[in-house]
Amino acid sequence: MKHTKLRHALTLGVFILIVGGFCVLRLVVSPPAILSSERRRPAKLPDFTLSNVLDARFTNGFEPFAADTFPFRETMRTIRAKTVFDVFRQTDKSGLFTYNLGGTVGAGKFAAVNEAEYRKFTAKINAVTERYLGDLNVFYAVIPDKSAYVDGDYPDYDHELAAGILADALPKLTAIDLYPALDASSFYRTDLHWDQTKIGAVVNMIVGSAYEFNDTVTVGDFRGVYAGQIALPLEPDAMSYVPVPHVTAEYLGEDMAFHGGAVYDLGADGFGSVDPYNLFLRGPQSLIVLTNTETDSARHLYIFRDSFSSSLAPLIAETGAYKTVTLIDLRYIDWRLLEQMVTFEPNSDALFLYGAQVLNDASIQKVNA
């Protein structure tokens, strides 16, 4: 009886302590301006107005605000991740999984090939090719997802399946098979992207050279997008870049004119931004022209691309195989306006280069094929 009373009192005390404690903490602890691991701002509390209350906009917006500004949110996310992997012994958390690479843990995401999305995507590639690239040598390559290279029984990227779909859907284009040029160590452990210092073989495969990139500069630790999503305390990667002294970059500005800028941006818009991968060519950009100032080549390369090319293209330009490398990101530019900003030189090369996960979501390429 005595024990029962004490048990009830302790149970009650624990409940009040936790519920009341967090209730008070949310009042006294200021929420962060940025949820850095999730690379976004916390949801804002909707304005408390009569119209917002009556049409439930206030109440519907309250729960995301309450969750985003919850005290010790990052710790709570880690508790969930630990429960998923260590208590429930699940092998993934909403498609995110961990793997071991030389004794260090990395994270990846399922990227099973979605044939329907691949078909939509390739229809868009064909449309762009037909309109602009009739006089060019047009190539394509898919960047295999790193899940294809790590051990595990995950529903991962099937390179043969992807290659077969693309070959069937892009009969007029020439394929470049990047699969043999990569392995698990080619990618950041904590991010989906490849590590620029480990993709020399990819560069040489694309340009047909035997160029060697020996110098690297390390700028700091890098916790990639998967580290934030999976919410486990993963050891950070090292963020390094390969110097490209012969390459200059010009970016298309909001004034629709090109402006010179650094290839590697160590400032607030680059490595210091929410996504440190923006070190390479300042992250999301609609149009960039890289020029090799030393080469004798007069050839041009046009890359239709996603973020992987931000780290690859400077290396291609540095080889001197091309005078210019133009990077076109159709997510940020209307393809119908391309001819106003890009002159596609006849007999040049064009390359459609996309990561497997981007190919799985055709909707992000705003091309009305």
Partner 1 sequence: MLFSGITFLFWFLPTVLAVYFILPTRRGNMLVRNTWLLLASLVFYAWGEPKFAILMIAQIISGWVFGLLIERGRGTKASKYALIACLAVGLGGLAFFKYADFFLANLNLIPHVDIPLLRIALPIGISFYTFQILSYDIDLYRGETAVQRNVLTFATYVSLFPQLIAGPIVRYVDVERELTARTHSVENFAVGTRRFVAGLAKKVLIANVLAEFVALVGAQNTTLAAWLYAIAYGLQIYYDFSGYTDMAIGLGLMFGFKFLENFNYPYIADSITDFWRRWHISLSTWFRDYVYIPLGGNRRGAARQVLNILVVWTLTGFWHGAGWNFILWGAYFGVLLLIEKFVLAKFLDKLPSALRHLYVILLILVSWIFFASTSAHEIGARLGALVGSGTLSVSPPVTEYYLRSYAVPLVIALFGATPLPKRLLSHLETSKYAPILTVLEPLAVAALLIVSTAYLVDGSFNPFIYFRF
User: Interface with partner 1 by CB under 8 A: which residues?
Assistant: 3, 5-15, 18-20, 22-23, 26, 53-56, 59, 62-63, 66-67, 70, 73, 76-77, 79-81, 83, 87-92, 94, 112, 153-155, 231
Residue 56 or 217 with smaller CB distance to partner 1: 56
Residue 109 or 323 with smaller CB distance to partner 1: 109
Shortest Å, Cβ 368 to partner 1: 29
Q: Give yes or no for a contact between 300 and 322, defined as CB atoms under 8 angstroms apart.
A: yes
Residue 162 or 178 with smaller CB distance to partner 1: 162
Burial annotation 62-92 (CB, 10 A radius, 16+ → b, else e) = eeebeebbbbebbeebbeebeebbeeeeeeb
Q: Give yes or no for a contact between 243 and 276, defined as CB atoms under 8 angstroms apart.
A: no
The two three-digit tokens of residue 256, written as one number? 């629709």
Residue 9 or 298 with smaller CB distance to partner 1: 9
Shortest Å, Cβ 192 to partner 1: 20
Residue 200 or 228 with smaller CB distance to partner 1: 228
Q: Give yes or no for a contact between 207 and 312, defined as CB atoms under 8 angstroms apart.
A: no
Shortest Å, Cβ 244 to partner 1: 40
Residue 91 or 293 with smaller CB distance to partner 1: 91
Residue 42 or 270 with smaller CB distance to partner 1: 42
Shortest Å, Cβ 27 to partner 1: 10
Shortest Å, Cβ 325 to partner 1: 39
Shortest Å, Cβ 169 to partner 1: 23
Burial of 268 (0-12, 13-18, 19+ CB in 10 A): exposed
Residue 19 or 256 with smaller CB distance to partner 1: 19
The two three-digit tokens of residue 101, written as one number? 């690479």
Residue 95 or 283 with smaller CB distance to partner 1: 95
Contacts of 85 (CB under 8 A, 6+ apart): 93, 98, 232
Shortest Å, Cβ 72 to partner 1: 9
The two three-digit tokens of residue 132, written as one number? 């602009």
Shortest Å, Cβ 28 to partner 1: 13
Residue 90 or 104 with smaller CB distance to partner 1: 90
Amino acid at 113: V
Shortest Å, Cβ 82 to partner 1: 9
Shortest Å, Cβ 232 to partner 1: 12
What's 260-277 look like in SS3? EECCECCCCCCCCCCCHH
Amino acid at 115: E
